[in-house]
Amino acid sequence: MNKVYTFFLLLILCCATASSQTIDELKTLFDNRQYGEALPQLKKMIKTQPANANLNYWYGESLRKTGNPEMAFKYLEIASKRGISAANLSLGRTCEALYQFDKASVYYNNYRRMLLQQKRATDEVDRDIVHCKMGLNMLQGVEKVCVIDSFVVDKKNFLSAYKLSHESGSLYYFKDYFKSDSISTATTVYENERQNRILYGGASANGTIKLFSRIKTTDEGWSTPTALPDVVNETDHVNYPFLLDDGVTLYFAADGKNSLGGYDIFVTRYDTNTDSYLKPDNIGMPFDSPFNDYMLAIDTYHNIGWFASDRYQPTSKVCIYVFVPNAAKVVYDIKSVEPSKLIGLAKLNAIQSTWTDSDKLNASRKELDKMLSRKSVAQRKGDSNNAFTFVVNDSHIYHEYTDFKSEDALESFKKWEEGQNKFEQNKKRLETLRVQYAQSDSTLRKNLSSTILLLERQQLEKEPILEKQTLLIRKLEIMKLTR
């Protein structure tokens, strides 16, 4: 009998020791932020110890950190009731991730009271409370956007999902463009169509990320980096620039006081009168969220845009959203849309709900297909197929760069080609805007009219310039041919 008793006692002690070791291992994983690795074991242990406050907190927080806020709530609530004060902060962030900003504010204020009782700093939770107010305001103005596609990609290679036309410029990783690993943070470079100007996220003197600009001065050299004005670079980290082909409108991401989550997307415009940029605006929902949202890029030639977000994604992944840019911002009427539906539209948890205009959707999908198959100017250089058709005279019709005999004519042609592509791009954009104008109400027409008038004026100015360039190219080439 004593042997049996001793055996069971040893068995209980072994199990207790093993359980203790497992909990210690899980705590180490959690403390090291290895949430994905901790989840399977936490899931098993929570079944055997459902009332354990620490296990509930670790499991709930790991679920939240790996993109499952809905599942996380139950376990974090148990942890909070069992005395884990940090669970209130996690519950607030869980509700915020679910766009339940009123509820999140309650949990944040509970946590703040606990901190005050313990005479601890409240700076972090104060910012969270401000974010809740900001989130509530953003929900009042969710933009109507047609999102034609979304897909998850590896975070480290997300730029490969962007299929911009040559006219819209190019995007690169800093380390690839500059052949340098001097910045540990992933930053990006925007290069314009003519490849003579770049905007990029670079390290500042104090180690934060700011936006810089450089101009190409010679075939081999670039100007000294110039930081963009403080009105753009006012926060700790500013990154992911994209300059619209108008050369004026700049999109970028920043993580400062006006950001709802980590990175939010902002837009500003260059003001020629002040030789600076206007105060940036947060572009709001559904583009921005309580998560990291960045790298918005728009191809106006095809009227297709992209942006990246890590909302509800594990650490190594991001979701790429492909959307149809609006000529002017139109928001949902909060009086006619159910709150739960409005939150769904803001979260973009079902992009099919944005497909309210089938003609627009189908036309945009065709443009996207065209964009994916269209060759850039750089790709066309060595193409044996007819890349273009340029009539020099009745005897000479060119289809490739190598057909030109005059170097001066070829260089002039390349400049003309860029201008002609831009001209056709704006022509197409005008057609789209005019259709939108005809179908819009008086408020939206007022916003569209200024854009249409500006484009029409630019087209009228550009057309005779292109005609003169065409005559010059022919003249230079014929001179070479007749020598």
**Concatenated DSSP letters for 216-269?**
B-SSS-BPPPEEPPTTTS-SSBEEEEEE-TTSSEEEEEE-STT-SSSSEEEEEE
Q: How many angstroms separate the CA atoms of 372 and 452, rounded?
A: 28
- Do 397 and 338 share a structural domain? no
Listed residues 348, 373, 398: the one ending a domain? 373
User: Is residue 182 predicted with pLDDT exceeding 80?
Assistant: no
Global pTM reads 0.74
What average pLDDT is seen over the chain? 86
For residues 103 and 236, state if they share a domain: no
pLDDT at 428: 75
17 plus 126 within the same structural domain: yes
Is there a single domain that holds both residue 367 and residue 381?
no
Closest of 140, 93, 88, 133 to residue 113, by C-alpha: 88
pLDDT band at 473 (very low <50, low <70, confident <90, very high): very high
User: Quick one: pLDDT at residue 5?
Assistant: 52
Our count of domains for the chain comes to 3
Q: What is the mean pLDDT of residues 444-469?
A: 84
Least confident of 17-31, 160-174, 235-249, 338-352: 17-31
Residue 8 has pLDDT above 80, yes or no: no
Q: Which of 73, 105, 138 is the last residue before a domain boundary?
A: 138
What's residue 33's pLDDT?
Answer: 86
In the prediction, which pLDDT does 420 show? 86
Quick one: 233 and 358 in the same domain?
yes
**pLDDT in the model for residue 232:** 94
Higher pLDDT, 289 or 483: 289
Please say if the pLDDT value at position 16 is more than 70: no
Evaluated on CA atoms 94, 98, 99, 104, the torsion sign reads negative
Residue 444, pLDDT score = 67
pLDDT of residue 216: 87
Q: Which residues pair with 331 in a beta bridge?
A: 143
Residues 172 and 282 reside in one and the same domain: yes
Confidence of residue 387 (pLDDT cuts 50, 70, 90): low
**How does pLDDT run across 131-144, given as a tens digit for each residue?**
999 999 999 999 99
- What confidence category does residue 227 fall into, taking pLDDT thresholds of 50, 70 and 90? very high
* 342, 373, 404 - which closes a domain: 373
Whether residue 246 sits in one domain with residue 172: yes
pLDDT digits (tens, 9 = 90+) for 252-309: 999 988 999 889 999 999 887 888 899 999 999 999 999 999 999 999 888 999 999 9
Please tell me which residue, 437 or 421, carries the higher pLDDT value.
Answer: 421
pLDDT score for 440: 66
Same domain, 305 and 334: yes
First to last CA, the chain: 117
The CATH number covering residue 68 comes to 1.25.40.10
pLDDT for res 379: 41
| Same domain flag for 154 and 213 | yes
Contact 298, 425 (CB under 8 A): no
> What letter does residue 184 receive in the DSSP assignment?
S
Cβ contact 65:57 at 8 Å: no
What is the predicted pLDDT for the residue at 441? 66
- The structure tokens 């709150």 sit at 339
Give percent above pLDDT 70 in the chain.
89
Instruction: Tell me the pLDDT tens digit for each residue of 117-176.
Output: 999 999 999 999 999 999 999 999 999 999 999 999 999 999 999 999 888 999 999 998
Residue 245 and residue 169 in contact, taking contact as beta carbons nearer than 8 Å: yes
pLDDT, residue 184, reads 62
Domain coverage including residue 297 = 143-373
408 and 432 housed in the same domain = yes
Residues 158, 63, single domain; the answer is no
pLDDT over 50 (residue 378): no
Q: How confident is the model at residue 333 (pLDDT cuts 50, 70, 90)?
A: very high
The pLDDT value recorded for residue 17 is 44
Looking at the structure, tell me whether residues 279 and 166 fall in a common domain. yes
Has residue 435 got a pLDDT over 80? no
